[in-house]
């Protein structure tokens, strides 16, 4: 295992790896054993973060046309409810007869997910089933998020190419402890039933406390200031960075990551004498600023549906539509409703005005602030008054 360490508050803290990495590693190991006919006790995968993992392969079961194995989840020094859980993958040729006593081959979800027609990905026991719209997984399908699905597919295809296999393989991901763990997570609130989600955008779990994250942000800002950069480009995390680089074609090499700590970001920017801040962020984060919420983590506050439902009704929506928005799980789903009702433009205009107001209030007018809200589904949704000017400034400085 080579995920390594990070420094937090003066001490070394061990990184972990996500359930998505476990599922991909188990899938690769099972595919290799199925196609090679040989057993392996370790497997190596590359994560989206660029860190290589060498993981122990556990609880191996092989038979005609299938192989099953598990990888144990390790959250490093940032433990969560899935730490130590076994994540299984069963890889099989179509119509293979899996022993009935093996519950891993009893999919609990209604649909199969495919990124490539040669690889079927099913959710087995302990993997949650998506029951409500607005998430990144299809309703009725397994709660296996896009990046883990991509990782699994890539590992299976690579094994198929290596061993010259050109037919379809089925992959079933299961978590025997998943149904017991699920009530401890946010899954019930999100309409995910029967198990946990297979998650991860980087493949790696970073063990960072709030204080360590804030200190890291301050260090990044100090570095930018020392290099003569007076205008900050800021993201909450991977989503903002990926969208800005891939969709907006903007150089992000000098950007600062604020995580959830917008208030601390703005305070420190004033202290250090920066001239401007432009935040490019997913609407699920930035919409909270419209209510003055300056720590966007869901454990502190979540006013997204309340704000958007209220603004919709201010602009003519019925109580029923307001309730529908209020009960929606994600800002993408809320946006869908607003667009359907012809209310989106009016509501987003109010949202960006409020975001502008609260950002300026926090910095006491001492620097220019701007924000651009985006959605992975709908693209750029709106921007505050100074956003276009600040975006042009960053483009000119590339």
**Percentage of residues of the chain with pLDDT beyond 70:** 91
CB 65 within 8 A of CB 30: no
Q: Label residue 209 left, alpha or beta by phi (over 0 means left) and psi (-120 to 50 means alpha).
A: beta
Q: Check pLDDT > 60 for residue 39.
A: yes
User: Which residue in 181, 186, 187, 157 sits closest to 169, CA to CA?
Assistant: 157
* Helix 344-363 / helix 262-272 crossing angle, nearest 10 deg: 50
Q: What pLDDT digit, counting tens, does each position of 134-163 carry?
A: 677 888 889 999 999 999 999 999 999 999
CB 286 within 8 A of CB 371: yes
Q: What pLDDT digit, counting tens, does each position of 310-333 carry?
A: 999 999 999 999 999 999 989 999
Q: Check pLDDT > 70 for residue 29.
A: yes
**106 — pLDDT class (breaks 50, 70, 90):** very low
**6 — pLDDT class (breaks 50, 70, 90):** low
Q: Check pLDDT > 90 for residue 190.
A: no
Mean pLDDT in residue range 248-271 = 94
**98 — pLDDT class (breaks 50, 70, 90):** confident
Q: Check pLDDT > 70 for residue 44.
A: yes
What is residue 198's DSSP assignment? B
Q: Check pLDDT > 90 for residue 224.
A: no
Residue 139: predicted pLDDT: 86
Please state, in angstroms and rounded to a whole number, the distance separating the CA atoms of residues 219 and 27. Answer: 39
Please state, in angstroms and rounded to a whole number, the distance separating the CA atoms of residues 32 and 150. Answer: 18
Which domains, ranges and CATH numbers included, belong to the chain? 5-205 (3.30.2110.10), 210-396 (no CATH)
Mean pLDDT in residue range 40-69 = 95
Q: Check pLDDT > 80 for residue 254.
A: yes
Q: Among 77-86, 132-141, 189-198, 243-252, which stretch is predicted with the lowest mean pLDDT?
A: 132-141
- Lookup result for tokens 């800021």: 234
Residue 191: predicted pLDDT: 81
DSSP states of 255-307 as a string?
-EE-TTBHHHHHHHHHHHT-SEEEEEEEHHHHGGGGGT--B--TTT---HHHH
DSSP states of 136-179 as a string?
SS-TTSB-B-HHHHHHHHHHHHHHHHHTT--S-EEEEEE-TTHH
Task: Report pTM.
Answer: 0.68
Q: Output the CA–CA distances (angstroms, integers) from residue 23 to 63, 79, 109, 123, 153, in the order listed.
A: 20, 18, 17, 11, 11
Residue 9: predicted pLDDT: 47
What is residue 190's DSSP assignment? H
The helix/strand/coil state of 245 is: helix
Report the half-sphere exposure of 265 (CA within 13 A, side-chain side). 27
């Amino acid at each position: 295992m080579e995920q390594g360490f990070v420094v937090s508050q003066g001490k070394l803290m061990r990184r972990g790896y996500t359930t998505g990495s476990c599922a991909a590693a188990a899938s690769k190991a099972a595919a290799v054993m199925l196609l090679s006919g040989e057993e392996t006790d370790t497997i190596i995968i590359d994560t989206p973060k660029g860190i290589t993992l060498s993981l122990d392969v556990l609880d191996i079961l092989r038979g005609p046309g299938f192989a099953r194995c598990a990888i144990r989840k390790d959250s490093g020094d940032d433990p969560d409810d899935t730490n130590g859980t076994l994540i299984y993958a069963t890889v099989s040729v179509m119509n293979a007869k899996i022993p009935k006593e093996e519950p891993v081959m009893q999919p609990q979800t209604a649909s199969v997910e495919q990124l490539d027609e040669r690889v079927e990905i099913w959710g087995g026991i302990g993997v949650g089933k998506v029951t409500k719209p607005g998430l990144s997984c299809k309703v009725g399908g397994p709660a296996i998020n896009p990046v883990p699905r991509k990782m699994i597919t890539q590992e299976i295809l690579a094994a198929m190419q290596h061993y010259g296999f050109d037919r379809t393989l089925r992959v079933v991901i299961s978590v025997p402890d998943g149904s017991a763990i699920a009530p401890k997570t946010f899954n019930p609130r999100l309409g995910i039933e029967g198990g946990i989600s297979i998650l991860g955008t980087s493949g790696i779990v970073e063990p960072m406390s709030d204080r360590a994250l804030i200190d890291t942000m301050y260090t990044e800002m100090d570095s930018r200031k020392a290099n003569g950069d007076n205008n900050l480009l800021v993201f909450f995390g991977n989503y903002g960075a990926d969208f800005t680089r891939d969709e907006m074609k903007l150089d992000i090499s000098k950007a600062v990551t604020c995580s959830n700590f917008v208030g601390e970001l703005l305070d420190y920017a004033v202290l250090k004498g920066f001239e401007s801040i432009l935040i490019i962020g997913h609407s699920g984060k930035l919409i909270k600023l419209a209510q003055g919420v300056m720590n966007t983590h869901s454990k502190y506050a979540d006013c997204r549906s309340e704000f958007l439902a209220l603004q919709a009704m201010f602009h003519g929506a019925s109580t029923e539509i307001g309730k529908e928005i209020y009960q929606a799980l994600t800002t993408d789903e809320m946006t869908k409703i607003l667009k359907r009702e012809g209310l989106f433009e009016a509501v987003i205009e109010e949202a960006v005005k409020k975001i502008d107001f609260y950002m300026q209030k926090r910095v006491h007018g001492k620097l220019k602030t701007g924000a651009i809200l985006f959605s992975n589904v709908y693209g750029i949704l709106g921007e505050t008054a100074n956003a276009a000017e600040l975006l042009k400034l960053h483009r000119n400085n590339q």
